Chains A and B, each alone.
Chain A
Amino acid sequence: MRQFIACLSLIMGAAFPAVAQDQVTSFTLDNGMDVVVIEDHRAPVVVHMVWYRAGSSDEPPGTSGIAHYLEHLLFKGTDTLEPGEFSATVAKNGGSDNAFTSYDYTAYFQRIAADRLGLMMQMESDRMVNLRLTEEDIATELNVIIEERNQRVENNPAALFREQKSALQYLNHPYGDPIIGWQHEMSNLGMEDALDFYKTYYAPNNAILIVAGDVQPDEVRTLAEQHYGKIPANPDLPERSRPQEPRQMAERRMIFEDPRVAQPYVTRSYLAPERDSGAQEDAAALTLLAEILGGGTTSLMAEKLQFETQRAVNAAAYYWGTALDDTTFTMVVVPAPGVTLQQAEDAMDEVIASFLQTGVDPEQLERIKMQVRASQIYARDDVGQLANRYGRALTQGLTVEDVQAWPDILQAVTAEDIVAAARDVFDRNKSVTGWLKAPEVTQ
């Protein structure tokens, strides 16, 4: 069945990468800007992206949301572009544009006819350093991001629940603060916060240019040198280091109640290692562990909780390995009617215990590896997604070589590696267990 699980497996799918390596060229401009070109000549289209190694986790304390707010403000004009003119120009050329912010990166992109690449670079390089904001622009946009938070978070109890749960997961690291910002801090964000963040992080030596589609690497290099190459590096770019997690020594538990919750569920996340450059093996084992435990109909959670018994409506495990700092391994059980959250949580623990005892089914591992291999073929059909994969990797501490090595590293993972990874990660002292439910109605 679709629903619920579908969105989780999407995250999983995105962890499986890669592409024929002859499709990808990379180089660095003299000012330190990294460039990745991904060729696909089937259609005369190009995706042009600039990724900054700066996200919500790089924000100064007390200004949560400023990275995302600034992302909105980058559409407000420069010395030479009126507010809104950037997107209007892209549209007039038949293209579309947008931007997104996460914990570790902020990215801007346009999708347009390949012969307009130079114009895109001209405008994108312009707003890297020439942003001009008025108080009026930024006041209106503050209302927009507050409505965005209303739409994504305040109107959605599951989103509020996840936000509270992340805050509990991280004792010290800013991954505990929401990307969009805490509501009370957002309303105080202003011009100075935005410009400070902009001047600190928006520079070629903190950016990655990714061009994917019907282009030749030489042509991209020439255009990139012309438009981005002339911008000087920021010599004061701070080293990227966030407060790290201390030893986590006690499990945390929370119950989040909201009358708008129609479908209660229990979820547990464990602090887990991320993919590190040159050392992606542990993350590869955890990636396969998530598939084995909770990757869909053939997973162990489905077997124990939906087939052998009918204790869950849905059950899943997921792990997102691409991150700059410690990430999480998460399991979720949506109980069947009549099953309590405690019973659902106990069932989740049974699956973990059972897996640690019996280990990996070799046939299941074989099937997963077949899918990893096939995903390299299917991935070539969507260069936009490939561009995202490189952008996320390169802003989160990985290299082009790491991205290209990842499928082979996944193939090399053994059953023993997966069990060892499970033993390491399932440490309750590093976990947060959350119950999402509606308040009990008293008679």
Chain B
Amino acid sequence: MMRFVLAFAAFFAALPAWADINIKEVTTPGGVNAWLVEDHSIPFVALELRFKGGASLDPEDKRGVTNLMVGLLEEGAGDMDARAFARATEALAASFSYDVSDDTLSVSARFLTENRDAAVALLRQSLVDPRFDQDAIDRVREQVNSGIRSSKKDPQDIAGKAFDALVYGDHPYASSLNGTLESVASLTREDIVAAHKASIARDRLYVSAVGDITRDELASLLDGLLLDLPAEGAPLPKPADINLPGGIQVVEFDTPQAVATFGQPGIDRDDPDFFAAFVLNHILGGGSFESRLMHEVREKRGLTYGIYSYLMDRDGAKLWMGGVASANDRIAETIDVIRAEWDRMRETGVTAEELQNAKTFLTGAYPLRFDGNAPIARIAVNMQMQGLSTDYIANRNDMVNAVTLEDVNRVAQDLLDPSRLTFVVVGQPVGVTSSIN
């Protein structure tokens, strides 16, 4: 039982780093760009591939197809069926994981130096030549369906889904990337093959590698791995139109603890005020035990086990999000406290001491992220996707330190918008009425 486990992958953990990390930019003879951190102390490599677009590339009537396709990449390739592929991977003690989010298709691999070529050949087959056998499609489809059914009775998932449906209109973000039982049932092998071509292409590719490999070795590895992928995929989705009317939507569900998801408009990473907003969020609800929301809702009143807020920077939507759970008869008070804190922050801003503490934490914690091949590889690939350059690592703490009290408090007034702070509450909340249908 952890004292408090952050219920979401800290959005900012994906950002940058550390002056001593020596990132080399590599362009292969075949034209693949990658970032490399060479470190020969442990005989393996962590490799990260990202393809922009992700599940938002689903055609309108094929919701869930990218997710199903990604689930099938490890289910047979070349002349190997699903089990032969798994046996080959195990025999090399390599690990390949394939995942998809709203904006991104991710491939994370690690493999030993002693059998690197064989491992990469296997990975290549899964990306370039997946089989999509009908029996594998049927098997994975049932696993997806099982997840969809469970999700319908999970208060956290119900809240997320209702919030997305309310906020994102007709954008793919409005529905679950798993699809529905109906949409998944209708997917054919042809749909899956098309989703593969649409999403795994070189025009949207980002690559990082960390570990026991030289620049030249990496260049030839990447050309072998990636040059047979299509040069271009499907057009990337357009931004979403955001509907955040303010107020509360209650979704009735028979469970003892109510779960709330809330949000208001956010800020783009490229905005000049981004760092001020980032520091502001840290003080409001990003800083775990030290945040105002945690202090007021948990430490002072014991209304919850955990509460958090974060800046969500999706490719097509910028939101300021948060989450909390309280017993049905206490959630009304929790929501009141959150709203009061939103108002207070907007009206009176942060203190100089709060700002100083936030900066000390954020600048001190930053280098601690770079503590292994796998985490450095993830950070390096995410930096590329965010359009950052390698010297960002050396400059990032200066940008945090440059934020002034005036900046933070101006941004609090400009950006925090209690009138658009929108809650979805799932459960049987006492004393909470729906103002949104």
- A residues engaging B (CB < 8 A)? 1-4, 40, 42-45, 68, 71-72, 75, 83-84, 87-88, 91-96, 98-102, 111-113, 139-148, 150-152, 154-155, 179-180, 213, 259-263, 296-298, 302-303, 306-307, 310, 313-314, 334, 336-337, 363, 366-368, 370-371, 373-375, 377-378, 380-384
Most central of A71, A101, A147 by chain B CB within 10 Å: A147
In the complex with contacts A367-B90, A370-B93, A113-B367 CB distance below 8 A? yes
- List chain B residues, Cβ under 8 A from A363: 87
Whether, in the assembled complex, B219 has its beta carbon less than 8 Å from a beta carbon of chain A, the answer is no
Determine if B357 and A91 form an interchain contact, defined as CB atoms under 8 angstroms apart: yes
In the complex with contacts A113-B368, A141-B302, A313-B143, A381-B71 CB distance below 8 A? no
Q: Closest approach, in angstroms, between the C-beta of A340 and any C-beta of chain B?
A: 16
Determine if B304 and A374 form an interchain contact, defined as CB atoms under 8 angstroms apart: no
In the complex with contacts A3-B143, A298-B83, A373-B367 CB distance below 8 A? no
Determine if A3 and B146 form an interchain contact, defined as CB atoms under 8 angstroms apart: yes
Can you name 12 A-B pairs with beta carbons within 8 Å? A3-B143, A88-B357, A94-B365, A94-B366, A140-B299, A140-B301, A154-B255, A259-B254, A262-B151, A303-B83, A310-B139, A377-B44
Instruction: Tell me the residues in window 314-330 of chain B with beta carbons closer than 8 Å to chain A beta carbons.
Output: 325-327, 330
Q: Closest approach, in angstroms, between the C-beta of B426 and any C-beta of chain A?
A: 10
Determine if B1 and A147 form an interchain contact, defined as CB atoms under 8 angstroms apart: no
- List chain B residues, Cβ under 8 A from A306: 139
- List chain A residues, Cβ under 8 A from B357: 88, 91-92
Q: Which 9 A-B pairs have the closest CB atoms?
A: A94-B364, A143-B302, A374-B93, A150-B257, A297-B86, A148-B305, A140-B302, A262-B149, A262-B153
Determine if A262 and B3 form an interchain contact, defined as CB atoms under 8 angstroms apart: no
A381 CA to B211 CA, complexed, in Å:
10
Q: Closest approach, in angstroms, between the C-beta of B404 and any C-beta of chain A?
A: 19
In the complex with contacts A95-B364, A98-B2, A113-B364, A151-B142 CB distance below 8 A? no
A298 CA to B88 CA, complexed, in Å:
10
Q: Closest approach, in angstroms, between the C-beta of B178 and any C-beta of chain A?
A: 10
- List chain A residues, Cβ under 8 A from B75: 1
A-facing mask of B286-305, CB < 8 A → 1, else 0? 01111000010011111111
Determine if B139 and A370 form an interchain contact, defined as CB atoms under 8 angstroms apart: no
- B residues engaging A (CB < 8 A)? 1-4, 18, 39, 41-44, 46, 71, 74-75, 82-83, 86-87, 90-93, 97, 99, 110, 112, 138-140, 142-143, 145-147, 149-155, 254-257, 259, 287-290, 295, 298-306, 325-327, 330, 357, 360-368, 370-374
Partner of B327, one of A1, A3, A150, A263: A150
In the complex with contacts A71-B3, A100-B3, A370-B90, A154-B256 CB distance below 8 A? yes
Partner of B360, one of A43, A92, A337, A373: A92
A68 CA to B4 CA, complexed, in Å:
12
Q: Closest approach, in angstroms, between the C-beta of A323 and any C-beta of chain B?
A: 16
Determine if A45 and B371 form an interchain contact, defined as CB atoms under 8 angstroms apart: yes
Which residue of chain A is the closest to B42 with respect to CB atoms? A380
Q: Closest approach, in angstroms, between the C-beta of A110 and any C-beta of chain B?
A: 11
Q: Closest approach, in angstroms, between the C-beta of B229 and any C-beta of chain A?
A: 23
Partner of B289, one of A87, A94, A366, A383: A87
- List chain B residues, Cβ under 8 A from A370: 90-93
Partner of B361, one of A71, A94, A102: A94
A71 CA to B1 CA, complexed, in Å:
9
A70 CA to B23 CA, complexed, in Å:
45
- List chain A residues, Cβ under 8 A from B46: 381
Partner of B298, one of A87, A144, A261: A144
Q: Closest approach, in angstroms, between the C-beta of B196 and any C-beta of chain A?
A: 16
Determine if B140 and A1 form an interchain contact, defined as CB atoms under 8 angstroms apart: yes
Determine if B99 and A147 form an interchain contact, defined as CB atoms under 8 angstroms apart: no
Q: Closest approach, in angstroms, between the C-beta of B350 and any C-beta of chain A?
A: 15
Determine if A112 and B368 form an interchain contact, defined as CB atoms under 8 angstroms apart: yes
The A/B interface has a contact count, at CB < 8 Å, of 209
Which residue of chain B is the closest to A382 with respect to CB atoms? B372
Partner of B86, one of A45, A95, A298: A298
- List chain B residues, Cβ under 8 A from A314: 143, 146
Determine if B361 and A374 form an interchain contact, defined as CB atoms under 8 angstroms apart: no
Which residue of chain B is the closest to A384 with respect to CB atoms? B371
- List chain B residues, Cβ under 8 A from A87: 288-290
- List chain A residues, Cβ under 8 A from B287: 91
A150 CA to B305 CA, complexed, in Å:
9
In the complex with contacts A2-B99, A71-B1, A263-B360 CB distance below 8 A? no
Determine if B364 and A155 form an interchain contact, defined as CB atoms under 8 angstroms apart: no
Which residue of chain B is the closest to A143 with respect to CB atoms? B302
- List chain B residues, Cβ under 8 A from A384: 371
Q: Besides the contacts A306-B139, A374-B93, A374-B112, what 17 more A-B pairs have beta carbons closer than 8 Å?
A: A1-B71, A43-B372, A45-B367, A68-B1, A87-B289, A88-B357, A91-B357, A94-B361, A100-B1, A139-B302, A150-B256, A150-B327, A152-B1, A296-B86, A303-B83, A337-B145, A382-B374
A87 CA to B143 CA, complexed, in Å:
41
Determine if A99 and B82 form an interchain contact, defined as CB atoms under 8 angstroms apart: no
Q: Closest approach, in angstroms, between the C-beta of B408 and any C-beta of chain A?
A: 17
In the complex with contacts A91-B357, A96-B288, A374-B93, A144-B143 CB distance below 8 A? no
In the complex with contacts A94-B361, A261-B153, A298-B87 CB distance below 8 A? yes
A260 CA to B254 CA, complexed, in Å:
8
Most central of A96, A377, A381, A383 by chain B CB within 10 Å: A381
- List chain B residues, Cβ under 8 A from A155: 155, 255-257, 259, 325
Determine if B290 and A88 form an interchain contact, defined as CB atoms under 8 angstroms apart: yes
Which residue of chain B is the closest to A112 with respect to CB atoms? B368
A88 CA to B306 CA, complexed, in Å:
17
Determine if B305 and A151 form an interchain contact, defined as CB atoms under 8 angstroms apart: yes
Q: Closest approach, in angstroms, between the C-beta of B130 and any C-beta of chain A?
A: 14
Determine if A2 and B71 form an interchain contact, defined as CB atoms under 8 angstroms apart: yes
A263 CA to B288 CA, complexed, in Å:
33
In the complex with contacts A1-B71, A94-B364, A367-B87 CB distance below 8 A? yes
- List chain A residues, Cβ under 8 A from B295: 84
- List chain A residues, Cβ under 8 A from B154: 262
In the complex with contacts A140-B300, A143-B303, A370-B91, A148-B360 CB distance below 8 A? no
- List chain B residues, Cβ under 8 A from A310: 138-139, 142
In the complex with contacts A2-B71, A260-B254, A371-B93, A42-B152 CB distance below 8 A? no
A42 CA to B330 CA, complexed, in Å:
47
Most central of B90, B112, B367, B370 by chain A CB within 10 Å: B90
Most central of B97, B99, B362, B373 by chain A CB within 10 Å: B373
Which residue of chain A is the closest to B363 with respect to CB atoms? A94
In the complex with contacts A148-B305, A313-B142, A42-B39 CB distance below 8 A? yes
Q: Closest approach, in angstroms, between the C-beta of A351 and any C-beta of chain B?
A: 16
In the complex with contacts A91-B290, A154-B256, A99-B301 CB distance below 8 A? no
Q: Closest approach, in angstroms, between the C-beta of B320 and any C-beta of chain A?
A: 22
Q: Closest approach, in angstroms, between the C-beta of A297 and any C-beta of chain B?
A: 4
Determine if A147 and B304 form an interchain contact, defined as CB atoms under 8 angstroms apart: yes
A84 CA to B3 CA, complexed, in Å:
13
A20 CA to B74 CA, complexed, in Å:
32
- List chain B residues, Cβ under 8 A from A336: 142
Determine if A147 and B325 form an interchain contact, defined as CB atoms under 8 angstroms apart: yes
- List chain B residues, Cβ under 8 A from A1: 71, 74-75, 140, 143
- List chain B residues, Cβ under 8 A from A143: 301-303
Q: Closest approach, in angstroms, between the C-beta of A259 and any C-beta of chain B?
A: 7
A262 CA to B154 CA, complexed, in Å:
9
Which residue of chain A is the closest to B111 with respect to CB atoms? A374
Partner of B305, one of A84, A144, A371, A380: A144
Partner of B44, one of A95, A99, A378, A383: A378
- List chain B residues, Cβ under 8 A from A261: 153
A152 CA to B7 CA, complexed, in Å:
12
